Structure 1
Amino acid sequence: MNHGLVVFEDTDTHRNLLREAGEYATATDAGLLLLAFLDEESYEADLETLESVGRVENVSYGSDAILEAAVDDIRDVAEDVLDGLDAEFDIAVTVADEDERAKRVINAGDEYDCDHAFIVGRSRSPTGKAIFGDFAQRVILNFDGYVTTATN
């Protein structure tokens, strides 16, 4: 592995997968890209709140403030999860709805030259385990490299 892409949310399953990716990256001297998604509705609501606060304080807060806060939060979690490992990582945060997320993972993998993706799919019944779900299935079928999946 030269560069791994870890789709990250702050859940126990994602933390465990990040740790696994970090161990793999350390062993192979690879870098990691942590890709996180902000939900469009939450992002818009946060943006409205910042604009309201800005009007009261007579200060201008841009949309970058939301993304920067998300990057800072992810960095704190990642440093904790990867503590003791020699894994270097970058963080990318993007706003996307559920339908766009797989495409964003594929594009980020191409843009950052990632050859391994680490994703979390949904847990399924024994009958449904063959079907990973739209997001995981699209990433597995379209990512140009290896894909490691964990279930939530």
Structure 2
Amino acid sequence: MLDTVLLAVGPGDEDRSGQLAETVLEVAKPADATVVLAHVFTSTEYDEVLDRLEFDRTVDEIEPDAVAARHSTIHELQTILDEHDVDYEIRGAVGDHGQSIVDLAASADADRVVVGGRRRSPTGKAVFGSTAQEVLLSAPCPVTFVRSDESAPTREPPDE
């Protein structure tokens, strides 16, 4: 039985928030599980978001949870989860995307992680790494990978 599902989103997930929401609803709603909406920022991304969202930097420390709660992708997902009467909480983290998602899954005692991604060549993975790949290999629970529609492979019809 699932009690907690972690839905990890990041800067590249704006275009697939509907797909992510659909997947998390398929997993969480029948089990009446709580969804943890998690947004991970690198240090650079975090500073840029603080500026863009006009956070007051004169306060002692701005918690990543508060920053995540104001992010547009999280707002879209909140709206969808509210419409479907699914309980959720919001968590934010600053650090390496993959490891931070794994850490959030462990701290939330998640029973499932849902993460988005796109198709990448083997060379692209080797050179740039893959957040989804790291989560798939290191998460303390099963992981559901949601691939962006636009990244689905296209096939040419065979020559006749």
What's the TM-score, normalizing by structure 2? 0.70
Q: How does 1:105-144 map to 2 (within 5 A)?
A: 105-124=101-120, 128=122, 134-144=130-140
- Corresponding residue of 1:57: none
Runs of at least 4 residues of structure 1 off by over 6 A? Answer: 48-51
Q: Does 1:32 align with 2:31?
A: no
**Alignment check: 8 A CA contact 2:94 2:100 kept:** no
Aligned residues: 139
Name the structure where helix makes up a greater proportion of residues.
1
State the one-letter code of the partner of 1:4. Answer: V
**Alignment check: 8 A CA contact 2:4 2:112 kept:** yes
Q: SS at the partner of 1:144?
A: coil
Q: Does 1:71 align with 2:69?
A: yes
Q: Does 1:20 align with 2:19?
A: no
| Distance in 2, Cα, partners of 1:75 & 1:47 | 15
Q: Deviation of residue 24 (structure 1)?
A: 2.3
What's the TM-score, normalizing by structure 1? 0.73
| Distance in 2, Cα, partners of 1:80 & 1:48 | 25
1:75-125: per-residue Cα shift (whole Å, max 9, x none)?
5322222243121111111122xxx22111111111111010101122236
- CA-based RMSD of the aligned residues comes to 3.0
Q: Deviation of residue 48 (structure 1)?
A: 7.3
Q: SS at the partner of 2:145?
A: strand
Percent sequence identity is: 22
